[in-house]
Amino acid sequence: MIKIYSPENVIEAQCLKDFLEQQHIRCFIGGQYLVGAIGELPITGLLGLYVEDLDAGLARRLICDYLSATPVF
């Protein structure tokens, strides 16, 4: 598996994981349990979204499209 994105927080990580899995891309959140150790560990770079190497390009494009979408009110 390869890291394709560093989410800001666990909520963003879970939303993106769910989104990728809806697109039939297996995804793993790395570092989600380290966030509770803030104070002992660096604040940034703990979280990561990981996918299979073959899915990395598509997953990156989907995340980019997802994050740049205009919300519907």
CA 34 to mean position of chain CA atoms: 15
Q: How far, in Å, CA of 65 to CA of 62, rounded?
A: 5
Q: Where are the domains of the chain?
A: 2-68
pLDDT digits (tens, 9 = 90+) for 49-60: 999 999 999 999
Residue scoring higher pLDDT (72 or 33): 72
pTM of the model: 0.79
pLDDT digits (tens, 9 = 90+) for 14-58: 999 999 999 999 999 998 766 555 555 555 667 899 999 999 999
Residue 10 — very low, low, confident or very high, per pLDDT cuts 50/70/90?
confident
